[in-house]
Amino acid sequence: MGREDLALYGGRPVRDKPLPPMFPGATFIDDEEVNEVLEVLKAQSLFRYYGPRFLGKTEKFEKAFAEYVGVKHALAVSSGTGALCTALAAVDVGPGDEVVIPGFSWIMDAMAVLFLRGIPIIAEIDETLSLDPEDFERKISDKTKAVIAVHMRGFQCDMDRIRKIAVEHGVRVVEDVAQACGGSYKDRKLGSIGDAAAFSFQLNKVITAGEGGAVTTNDEDVYVKAAVFHDAPFYSRFKGEPSPGLNFRLNEVSAAILLAQLCKIDSIITRMRKRKANIVKAISELDGIDVHKPIDPEGDVAVAVVVFLESFEKAELFARALNAENINAWHFFNPGRRDLHVYYHWDAVLNKVSFASKGCPYTCPIYGKTVEYSREMCPKTLKILGRAVNIDVSPLLTDEDEATIIEGVEKVAKAILR
Ligand SMILES: Cc1ncc(COP(=O)(O)O)c(C=O)c1O
Convert the pLDDT of each residue in 208-229 to its tens digit. Answer: 999 999 999 999 999 999 999 9
Over residues 347-394, the pLDDT tens digits come to 999 999 999 888 999 999 999 999 999 999 999 999 999 999 999 999
- CATH, range 31-264: 3.40.640.10
Residue to substitute in 23, 175, 179 for testing ligand 1 pocket (most ligand atoms within 8 angstroms of CB)? 179
Cα–Cα distance for residue pair 355/241, rounded to 1 Å? 27
Over residues 295-304, the pLDDT tens digits come to 999 999 999 9
H-helix or E-strand spanning residue 267: helix 265-283
Mean pLDDT to the nearest integer, 65-87? 98
Nearest atom in ligand 1 to the alpha carbon of residue 201 is 10
pLDDT above 90 (res 12): yes
Asked whether 183 and 301 are in contact (CB, 8 A), the reply is yes
On average, the pLDDT of the chain sits at: 97
Strands, E assignment, 191-283: 196-200, 213-217
Over residues 247-256, the pLDDT tens digits come to 999 999 999 9
Mean pLDDT to the nearest integer, 306-318? 97
Q: Is the CB of 175 under 6 A from ligand 1?
A: no
> What is the reported pLDDT for 3?
87
The residues, any chain, with a CB within 8 Å of residue 308's CB and separated by 6 or more, are 127, 289, 290, 291, 292, 315, 384, 387, 388, 389
Q: Is the CB of 202 under 6 A from ligand 1?
A: yes
Asked whether 185 and 159 are in contact (CB, 8 A), the reply is yes
Residue to substitute in 99, 131, 200 for testing ligand 1 pocket (most ligand atoms within 8 angstroms of CB)? 200
pLDDT above 80 (res 418): no
Cα–Cα distance for residue pair 205/246, rounded to 1 Å? 24
Q: Is the CB of 390 under 6 A from ligand 1?
A: no
Nearest atom in ligand 1 to the alpha carbon of residue 79 is 10
User: Quick check: helix, strand or coil at residue 18?
Assistant: coil
Cα–Cα distance for residue pair 369/385, rounded to 1 Å? 30
Asked whether 205 and 59 are in contact (CB, 8 A), the reply is no
pLDDT above 90 (res 97): yes
Where exactly are the structural domains of the chain?
31-264
Q: Is the CB of 213 under 6 A from ligand 1?
A: yes
The residues, any chain, with a CB within 8 Å of residue 4's CB and separated by 6 or more, are 10, 11
Residue type present at position 287: D
Over residues 118-157, the pLDDT tens digits come to 999 999 999 999 999 999 999 999 999 999 999 999 999 9
Catalytic residue set: 205
Q: pLDDT band for 171, please (50, 70, 90 cuts).
A: very high
Cis upstream peptide for 13 (omega within 30°): no
Nearest to 254 by CA among 191, 207, 190: 207
Residue ranges in 284-328 assigned as alpha helix (H): 312-324
User: Quick check: helix, strand or coil at residue 134?
Assistant: helix
Q: At what angle do helices 80-90 and 107-115 cross, to 10 degrees?
A: 50
> What is the reported pLDDT for 379?
98
Q: How far is the CA of 326 from the centre of ligand 1 (A)?
A: 27
pLDDT above 80 (res 1): no
Nearest CA to ligand 1 atom 12: 178
Q: Is the CB of 344 under 6 A from ligand 1?
A: no
The residues, any chain, with a CB within 8 Å of residue 2's CB and separated by 6 or more, are 415
Cα–Cα distance for residue pair 140/307, rounded to 1 Å? 31
> What is the reported pLDDT for 240?
86
Residue to substitute in 79, 106, 131 for testing ligand 1 pocket (most ligand atoms within 8 angstroms of CB)? 106
Q: How far is the CA of 339 from the centre of ligand 1 (A)?
A: 13
Asked whether 249 and 212 are in contact (CB, 8 A), the reply is no
The region that residue 104 occupies, defined by phi over 0 for left and psi between -120 and 50 for alpha, beta otherwise, is: beta
Q: What share of the chain is helix, strand, coil (3-state, %, to 5)?
A: 40, 15, 45
Q: Is the CB of 80 under 6 A from ligand 1?
A: yes
Q: Which backbone phi and psi does 102 adopt, to 5 degrees?
A: -75, 150
